């Protein structure tokens, strides 16, 4: 068997050590699935017939991971963070699930087959013997990998009743892998989706995050809606279905929101941008009105009510405060770029004051998602590029004597002189030199130069100072021209 990604020695050492002590040891779960798909595994899980105490005896540094007997084997030496801890879990046979979440009992008298049988989907229930290079695949997981199918191990309704999280895992895996869900499994999800009502919010949120962070979040959300689970995650999104907009928009609010989200994923942008893209128009359904002339729809203030709705949604899902704040802010200000009459430098300055220096670029990204989600071919038309150019102009470091590593007071102290026009001339003369050669912008060098200048007569010094002022203006103009050139705007 050859896979694109090889099995790291940190992992094969673990399986080898177990086998040398006479135990069975296999790779199992997501890493085997990913290896077969030629995707890079995120973590490496080993399963064995050794009991937790026996595992701990074999390796020098270990700790208990959870209540299921998983032992973390620590690899201090490795550079790769994913290999610092290799999880080794004894074969497991699970008892009943009276609370639909945690098995009532975990027995360690299990075989590899028992262990594979308790796993969620066939593609996650394949074991791989690292040394002998063979797989154990009693549920035909490889076949389903070949046909891009997510299929429950055993009776799907029973399996979802045991643990409702599997419903979300199915949809999330399908978004991550671009797989379909097997028909029986899909039917079972439709029948058991109500189980999500009782599920811990944190578990729902974590799967939702992984779905949004996948390559195909749009498909994931469409599937979540179709299977009746979106209403337990973000029911507000369902209200956007069929909410028609004006002619400029090719899509209803639902499709627009999903396409905006998908663009953020296609660009590999982070979670906060993706969530803001998904939620930016979440209040359009409630704020839609007919215009006075009845010719078109208006959505006045939807960014303000939308920010409130986004806050409610993210709080309900127990997102951390920092990302919640970021997303709410991006929803609140996403309309800024549509107001043509607001394109002035002072308006851009006000925007930056409202959202902060870092978030202003995130806002540009959300705007790009919004555009593509509207069905426009260009991410960044002239107007948006003009905004970007102005943002950069506002944020650029100003060219002035404040850039110098020395100030007026330093000069007065060093030369022991009183305040007066001389100081300003000297500072500008120094700026003139620093603009020619930025490496001399050091306190000791500048002090020495200033002391020489102090001796010059005022008239001569004034001339030098004026030269500095002119150079500063030229420099400013050049910088702004560079910025405009970069964004191809005037
Ligand atoms: P990834 O690591 O890419 O998230 P994964 O499939 O490895 O994917 P994990 O949460 O690491 O996901 O779980 C490891 C394995 O444990 C899974 O492949 C599956 O075999 C099993 N598993 C995880 N969660 C469940 C569950 N709720 N019910 C049954 N089996 C599960
Ligand atoms: Mg895993």
Could you identify the atom of ligand 1 that is nearest to the CA of residue 163?
27
Percent of the chain that is helix, strand, coil (3-state, to 5)? 60, 10, 35
Residue nearest to atom 12 of ligand 1 (CA): 30
C-alpha 364 to ligand 2 mean position (Å): 35
CA distance 261 to 259: 5
Which residue, judged by its Cα, is nearest atom 3 of ligand 1? Answer: 30
Q: How many CB atoms lie within 10 A of CB 146?
A: 12
Going from the Cα of 275 to the center of ligand 2, the distance in angstroms, rounded, reads 24
Question: What is residue 107's predicted lDDT score, i.e. its pLDDT?
Answer: 57
The DSSP string of 457-487 is -HHHHHHHHHHHHHHHHHHHHHHHHHHHHHT
Q: Ligand 1 atom 21: the closest Cα is on which residue? A: 119
* Ligand approaching nearest to the C-alpha of 169: 1
The pLDDT of residue 302: 83
Per-residue pLDDT of the chain (490 residues; tens, 9 = 90+): 778 888 999 999 999 999 999 999 999 999 999 999 999 998 899 999 999 999 999 998 999 887 778 999 998 888 887 888 899 999 988 755 555 455 555 555 789 999 999 999 999 999 999 988 899 999 999 999 999 999 999 999 999 999 999 999 999 999 999 999 999 999 999 999 999 999 999 999 999 999 999 999 999 999 999 999 999 999 999 988 877 877 777 788 899 999 999 999 999 999 999 999 999 999 877 877 777 777 787 777 888 899 999 999 999 999 999 999 999 999 999 988 777 667 788 889 988 988 998 899 999 999 999 999 888 878 888 888 988 999 998 888 778 888 899 999 999 999 999 999 999 999 999 999 998 888 999 999 999 999 999 999 999 999 999 999 999 899 889 989 999 999 998 8
**Helices 217-226 and 271-279 meet at what angle, rounded to 10?**
50
What is the CA(313)–ligand 1 centre distance, in A?
A: 27
Dihedral angle computed from the Cα positions of residues 215, 219, 225 and 226, in that order, rounded to the nearest 10 degrees: -140
Distance (Å) from CA 165 to ligand 1 centroid: 11
How does DSSP classify residue 290? E
Q: Whose CA is nearest to atom 18 of ligand 1?
A: 29
Q: Taking the C-alpha atoms of 254, 259, 261 and 262 in order, what is their torsion angle to the nearest 10 degrees? A: 140
What SS3 class is residue 83?
helix
Name all residues whose Cβ lies below 6 A of ligand 1.
29-30, 42-43, 45, 119-120, 124-125, 163, 165-166
Q: Which residues contact 161 (CB under 8 A, 6 or more apart)?
A: 97, 100, 192, 195
| 442 CA → ligand 2 middle, Å | 53
| Spacing, Cα 192 to ligand 1 middle (Å) | 20
Q: Ligand 1: which residue has its CA nearest to atom 1?
A: 30
Q: For a ligand 1 pocket test, name from 35, 39, 69, 120 the mutation site with the most ligand atoms within 8 angstroms of its C-beta.
A: 120
This prediction's pTM: 0.86
* Residues within 5 A (CB) of ion ligand 2: 30, 43
Q: Which domains does the chain have, with CATH numbers?
A: 9-146 (3.30.460.10), 148-233 (1.10.110.30), 239-395 (1.10.3210), 401-486 (no CATH)
- Element of type H or E holding 297: strand 297-298
> The tokens 């020489």 sit on which residue?
452
Q: How far apart are CA 421 and CA 457, in angstroms?
A: 12
Ligand nearest to the CA of 28: 1
Cα separation, 89 vs 48, in Å, equals 6
- Rounded distance between C-alpha atoms, residue 255 and residue 327, angstroms: 20
Q: Which atom of ligand 1 is nearest to the CA of 31?
A: 7
Please give the sequence-ordered ranges of beta strands (E in DSSP) within 45-182, or none if there are none. 45-48, 62-64, 71-74, 85-90, 93-94, 106-107, 127-129, 134-136, 149-150, 180-181
For ligand 1, atom 2, the nearest C-alpha belongs to: 30
Distance 460 CA to ligand 2 centre (A): 74
Question: What is the three-class DSSP state of 420?
Answer: coil
89: which strand partners? 47
């Amino acid at each position: 068997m050859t896979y694109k990604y090889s099995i790291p020695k940190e992992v094969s050492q673990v399986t080898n050590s177990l086998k040398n002590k006479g135990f069975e040891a296999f790779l199992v779960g997501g890493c085997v699935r990913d290896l077969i798909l030629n995707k890079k595994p995120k973590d490496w899980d080993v399963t064995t017939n050794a009991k937790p105490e026996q595992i701990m005896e074999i390796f020098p540094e270990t700790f208990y991971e959870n209540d299921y007997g998983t032992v973390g084997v620590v690899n201090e030496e490795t550079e790769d963070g994913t290999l610092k801890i290799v999880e080794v879990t004894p074969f497991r046979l699970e008892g009943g699930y009276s609370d639909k979440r945690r098995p009532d009992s975990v027995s360690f008298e299990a075989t590899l087959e028992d262990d594979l049988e308790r796993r969620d989907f066939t593609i996650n229930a394949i074991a791989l013997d690292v040394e002998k290079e063979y797989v154990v695949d009693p549920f035909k997981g490889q076949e389903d990998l070949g046909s891009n199918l997510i299929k429950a191990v055993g009776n799907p309704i029973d399996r979802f009743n045991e643990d409702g999280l599997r419903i979300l895992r199915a949809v999330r895996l399908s978004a991550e892998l671009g797989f379909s869900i097997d028909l029986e499994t899909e039917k079972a999800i439709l029948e058991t989706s109500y189980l999500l009502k009782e599920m811990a919010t944190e578990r729902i949120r974590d799967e939702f995050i992984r779905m949004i962070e996948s390559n195909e979040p749009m498909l994931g959300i469409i599937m979540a809606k179709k299977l009746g689970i979106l209403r337990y995650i973000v029911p507000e999104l369902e209200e956007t279905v069929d909410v028609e907009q004006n002619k400029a928009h090719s899509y209803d609010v639902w499709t627009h929101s999903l396409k905006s989200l998908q663009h953020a994923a296609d660009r590999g942008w982070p979670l906060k941008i993706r969530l803001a893209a998904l939620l930016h128009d979440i209040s359009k359904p409630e704020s839609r009105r007919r215009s006075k002339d009845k010719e078109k729809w208006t959505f006045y203030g939807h960014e303000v009510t939308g920010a409130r709705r986004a806050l409610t949604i993210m709080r309900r899902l127990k997102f951390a405060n920092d990302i919640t704040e970021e997303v709410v802010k991006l929803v609140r200000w996403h309309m800024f770029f549509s107001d043509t009459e607001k394109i002035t430098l002072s308006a851009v300055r006000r925007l930056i004051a409202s959202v902060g220096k870092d978030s202003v670029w995130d806002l540009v990204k959300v705007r790009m998602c919004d555009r593509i989600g509207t069905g426009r071919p260009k991410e960044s038309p002239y107007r948006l590029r003009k905004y970007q150019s102005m943002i950069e102009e506002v944020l650029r470091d100003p060219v002035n004597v404040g850039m110098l590593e020395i100030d007026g007071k330093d000069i007065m102290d060093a030369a022991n002189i009183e305040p007066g026009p001389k100081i300003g001339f000297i500072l500008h003369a120094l700026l003139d030199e620093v603009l020619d050669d930025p490496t001399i912008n050091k306190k000791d060098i500048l002090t020495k130069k200033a002391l020489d200048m102090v001796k010059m007569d005022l008239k001569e010094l004034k001339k030098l100072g004026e030269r500095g002022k002119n150079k500063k203006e030229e420099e400013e103009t050049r910088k702004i021209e560079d910025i405009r050139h970069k964004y191809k705007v005037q």
